[in-house]
Chain A
């Protein structure tokens, strides 16, 4: 089933997933012998090989009460988890078998009028890549084997579920992305994260950040949450998703919070209570797919089948705000009041302090500098570790793995090297911005960078530079922007809101006749871009405007220029936040002089010149 086919079904009705697999297997009171020996006891996935009637019985129980979708018994089927039982090499076979078992039973219950589906379950493994337990590539490779096995065994869709760490979810998605590219097979994908009782994912991620990070992936059809808590604790987050997620929403709660009684996990939510909650989620919030996680039995799920049959989901009014995010929290690409401030000090080319720290390989110092910028008021940080004679890939890896968890602000990955960009994206759990693309060498850079943005869900900065150099006039700036805009969308599948245009400015400080109108042209180009591409964003490196002037004059000119650029639609400014002064604090005379300089209000002797 493709993503579009799934969307078509969801337009018509609510789909019902099954209930708990793990806890249902437990009720069968399996012995070590059933698992294939003491050393395999607890390896539910090996049952697919050794005792297939056990998972089959679970599927049958749920299909009997009328579910639309059964999940394969492959939650821990990645080679990463199977390695704990010495079964890493059997991952493909185990996953394929899990899908075949589910397929067989689902087909038995299917009729021409009503098909039953198989969802290939991909659990979170036992490692957290953001904490360095495992590398992204290893994790992606492990998941890829699982994906192949599940699809070959007959899964209709894939569910990346119980996600604990966004980087883990991204590794799973990268494996699916590659699988789709290599085989040309389309398959619907559900991503489901787990919000712990403390209100965030295990790594501290807020629901808004998770949505920001997963939303840009077009291979993901449905987004939602499962496990850890009952529906009651999920309520606020379900509401958030239903109000903000452009993708249909998936909810699969536990049967309440588990309580340990005499060594048994007991789930106290009754089928009636689950029905009440899920009715509410569907009717009042507009949830599209419902199901049960730990502790939910066929009794619980039969209630959900009833809900799906009787209730039409609320038509959601979604207001999604394009944003970027760190592993902890997100920042909208447009703030009110503007601008979004991009801190510029973690740049080895722009900041001496950062360069020195990099040369000394003082990583803690670099983290500290990043944190200082948070205190100074930055919302996003530019990160550039390019330095002549050093291994930029290695430097980026070392810095990025620390910044990922130690810096709460979203990052902008600033490099001209494709390899560096990709390695950075592999270590970043949130949604990054890639800095940048341009048309300096024709389409080459777009061809290399945009597929990475697609694969890792990043936004991108597009500079108005083409084969003939940096554009100077508003017309030329707009023309280049339009060329990149059209190519990015039509050819590379980006969305208008993924693009951030930098219309670049030259300094007014040189007094060069050629650049006297640089500020006006830059600002006017922003207006043109915002007029024709209303969903895209505009960014400027503000301090270029004052290059060559003394420090104090720069400070003031930057502030005044920023003010006028914002008036005409600038969304983001790369700037040292500390060195921007609110306009009312600039003395009147200085402010007026800057305004005259920006709008080139020189006075001339001859009337002809004044008119020009």
Chain B
């Protein structure tokens, strides 16, 4: 080769080609756009203490050190507490946040006029007699210390005498007792009895693996006249200290507590009333017994099983076969067709939008952001006026799996009892439709079937999109978030398809996937909060039946699903069932 002359060398060409090209300088700090307050809060949450001094200095131009701690930094710790409580943040990261808090307080302390003003309260902590476990108690120490409280930590196997001594010597605002063993809960009870006999009324907080809220609030509150509280985790300990320092304690609190526990009882009672029996046909016109003209002669399909089943390990690609690309591209991503002719728009989609879709899908897949999971079940049911009654077998050890005592094809007569009752609203004009009408009525003597499902794509993608948003990657945020919303929809749509197949009612399904999005199939899938069944509280009943907690879906007090990208629905097989509005 050496004797021949090289007339084309890609190396030379490459070097020439890139000789002038300059690298893009993009070292923009992504959090630059955050306000100083947000940034500081973020630092606490992320446990990011490097350079926090500079941010604190800037903050001191606007706020007093105490304000920074109380109004900004502690806000961050509260978020940490929430994340920890909901299982989204692990212990070591909590500790890291606590460290950052500590570093910030250390920096601010010299600038504070009254250091005592900073110290918000004092607690004596101990693992009770006979118990050597102190991991939890030490965590309480760390969290409280870094939130401005003083902690006297007495260690393990501490007899009551020593606790009381320390409490009195330091004029403690509160005492915390901890222990992992079951017998420690007995020791705690004895301790409280003794303290009571001696007339002590100092507020007490109890924590530890063997304790339960019920035991503390029901059994132990009876033996101690001072304020007594249960801490499920270290942040509960923090809330406890905040409570006793903010409120005027003693009797006043005792009263509040008494009221609070009374209201707990009430809620329990109410919850009991939600389940089976009791409630009559509901508020939507029992007397008139209005009914639409929906056919009552539809055959009931055969179910594959009764009860519920969990499905996980689904392939993401399979779910995406049901992705509604129009809703995604025009709706979520806002590539509007307005002002474009068909050809131009199609070309733009081909050239710009589909490559983005592929890229976003690839990223979501690679990062493992989607964890599709489904709980679904088939249940015997009947309508009763506007109500829909869901039944359970008379004897069934585990309602939340495939029922063993009731198999498809079994005779249902005399085998069922009322389990959960939904009440659906009825149109007051138009066709007088009500979802219950799509089911065999009690009077018919026949049982019908309803399918219920809860699907989620997991919480990872929500966290991911949240991060994109926080990092000000708004474009990526829009793309990934849009895909996440439509993926959850796709999963629900996919599962509805499976259900139709299992019920043998998929004969009239449209052949093209995209026509399924306009209900080209038999039956309908309704979600609570939408026009035909607007009552969000019904989620509670669906949760009672399916227990979606098992795949990580929970319900907030406002009846919203967590993770965000989850849906629940009921599936009706009746051919006349379509979406409708109730005004």
A residues neighboring B (CB under 8 Å): 26, 41-42, 81, 84, 126, 128, 130-131, 198-200, 202-204, 232, 236, 258-265, 272-273, 276, 328, 335, 337, 362, 364-365, 368, 375, 377, 405-406, 508-509, 511, 513, 549-553, 555-557, 582, 584, 589-590, 593-594, 596-597, 601-606, 608-609, 612
Question: Is A550 within 8 A of B1, CB to CB?
Answer: no
Smallest Cβ-Cβ distance to A594: which chain B residue = B14
Of B6, B19, B21, B215, the residue contacting A602 (CB under 8 A) is: B6
CB distance from B156 to the nearest CB of A (A): 7
Question: Is A593 within 8 A of B210, CB to CB?
Answer: no
7 more CB-based (< 8 A) A-B contacts, given A589-B17, A603-B8, A604-B4 = A368-B50, A406-B93, A511-B11, A550-B15, A552-B18, A553-B15, A602-B10
Residues of chain B lying within 8 A (CB to CB) of residue A276: 397-398
Question: Is B4 within 8 A of A601, CB to CB?
Answer: no
Question: Is B90 within 8 A of A203, CB to CB?
Answer: yes
23 contacts between A and B (CB under 8 A): A126-B135, A128-B135, A131-B91, A131-B92, A204-B90, A272-B397, A328-B90, A362-B50, A368-B50, A375-B467, A406-B47, A406-B92, A406-B93, A513-B2, A552-B21, A589-B17, A590-B14, A593-B10, A596-B13, A597-B11, A604-B5, A606-B5, A609-B3
Smallest Cβ-Cβ distance to B5: which chain A residue = A605
Task: Across the A-B interface, give the 6 residue pairs with the lowest CB-CB distance, nearest first.
Answer: A204-B90, A596-B10, A405-B92, A609-B4, A603-B8, A606-B4
Q: Does B212 contact A (CB under 8 A)?
A: yes
Residues of chain B lying within 8 A (CB to CB) of residue A364: 49-50
* With known contacts A41-B130, A203-B90, A258-B210, A549–B219 Cβ distance under 8 A: no
Question: Is B17 within 8 A of A368, CB to CB?
Answer: no
Residues of chain B lying within 8 A (CB to CB) of residue A262: 215, 219
Residues of chain A lying within 8 A (CB to CB) of residue B291: none
CA separation between A131 and B138, bound complex, in Å? 12
CA separation between A42 and B129, bound complex, in Å? 10
CA separation between A273 and B397, bound complex, in Å? 8
CB distance from B282 to the nearest CB of A (A): 34
Residues of chain A lying within 8 A (CB to CB) of residue B95: 131
Q: Does B133 contact A (CB under 8 A)?
A: yes
Smallest Cβ-Cβ distance to A329: which chain B residue = B368
Residues of chain B lying within 8 A (CB to CB) of residue A375: 467, 471
Question: Would you list which residues of chain B between 181 and 214 have a CB under 8 Å from chain A?
Answer: 181-183, 185-186, 189, 210-212, 214
Of B1, B185, B312, the residue contacting A260 (CB under 8 A) is: B185
B residues neighboring A (CB under 8 Å): 1-11, 13-15, 17-19, 21-23, 47-50, 87, 90-93, 95-96, 130-135, 156-157, 181-183, 185-186, 189, 210-212, 214-215, 219, 310, 312, 355, 359, 362, 365-367, 397-398, 467, 471, 550
Question: Is A609 within 8 A of B1, CB to CB?
Answer: yes
Of B47, B131, B362, B398, the residue contacting A337 (CB under 8 A) is: B362
Question: Is A590 within 8 A of B18, CB to CB?
Answer: yes
Of B7, B156, B189, the residue contacting A605 (CB under 8 A) is: B7
Of A203, A553, A584, A609, the residue contacting B18 (CB under 8 A) is: A553
Residues of chain B lying within 8 A (CB to CB) of residue A199: 87
Residues of chain A lying within 8 A (CB to CB) of residue B185: 260, 263
CA separation between A589 and B96, bound complex, in Å? 48
Residues of chain A lying within 8 A (CB to CB) of residue B7: 603-605
Smallest Cβ-Cβ distance to A277: which chain B residue = B398
Smallest Cβ-Cβ distance to A264: which chain B residue = B182
CB distance from A168 to the nearest CB of B (A): 12
CB distance from B27 to the nearest CB of A (A): 11
Residues of chain A lying within 8 A (CB to CB) of residue B21: 552
Residues of chain B lying within 8 A (CB to CB) of residue A81: 132
Residues of chain A lying within 8 A (CB to CB) of residue B13: 593, 596
CA separation between A86 and B205, bound complex, in Å? 30
* With known contacts A42-B130, A335-B366, A365–B6 Cβ distance under 8 A: no
Smallest Cβ-Cβ distance to A597: which chain B residue = B10
Name the residue in B5, B9, B49, B130 with the highest tally of chain A Cβ atoms < 10 Å from its Cβ.
B9
Smallest Cβ-Cβ distance to B8: which chain A residue = A603
Smallest Cβ-Cβ distance to B471: which chain A residue = A375
Question: Is A260 within 8 A of B215, CB to CB?
Answer: yes
Question: Is A555 within 8 A of B23, CB to CB?
Answer: yes
Of A84, A265, A335, A605, the residue contacting B4 (CB under 8 A) is: A605
Question: Is A556 within 8 A of B1, CB to CB?
Answer: no
Residues of chain B lying within 8 A (CB to CB) of residue A555: 23
Of B6, B17, B186, the residue contacting A604 (CB under 8 A) is: B6
Of A126, A368, A602, the residue contacting B9 (CB under 8 A) is: A602
Residues of chain B lying within 8 A (CB to CB) of residue A368: 48, 50
Residues of chain B lying within 8 A (CB to CB) of residue A556: 18
CB distance from A547 to the nearest CB of B (A): 13
Question: Is A601 within 8 A of B10, CB to CB?
Answer: yes
Question: Is B17 within 8 A of A590, CB to CB?
Answer: yes
Residues of chain A lying within 8 A (CB to CB) of residue B11: 508-509, 511, 597
Question: Is A204 within 8 A of B92, CB to CB?
Answer: yes
Question: Is B96 within 8 A of A406, CB to CB?
Answer: yes
Residues of chain A lying within 8 A (CB to CB) of residue B87: 198-199
CB distance from B479 to the nearest CB of A (A): 15
Residues of chain A lying within 8 A (CB to CB) of residue B91: 131, 202-204
Of B14, B131, B214, the residue contacting A593 (CB under 8 A) is: B14
CA separation between A604 and B6, bound complex, in Å? 4
Question: Is B219 within 8 A of A84, CB to CB?
Answer: no
Residues of chain A lying within 8 A (CB to CB) of residue B214: 259-260
CA separation between A320 and B32, bound complex, in Å? 44
CA separation between A406 and B96, bound complex, in Å? 8
CA separation between A582 and B93, bound complex, in Å? 33
CA separation between A262 and B222, bound complex, in Å? 12
Question: Is A597 within 8 A of B210, CB to CB?
Answer: no
Residues of chain A lying within 8 A (CB to CB) of residue B93: 406
CB distance from A358 to the nearest CB of B (A): 15
Residues of chain A lying within 8 A (CB to CB) of residue B92: 130-131, 203-204, 405-406
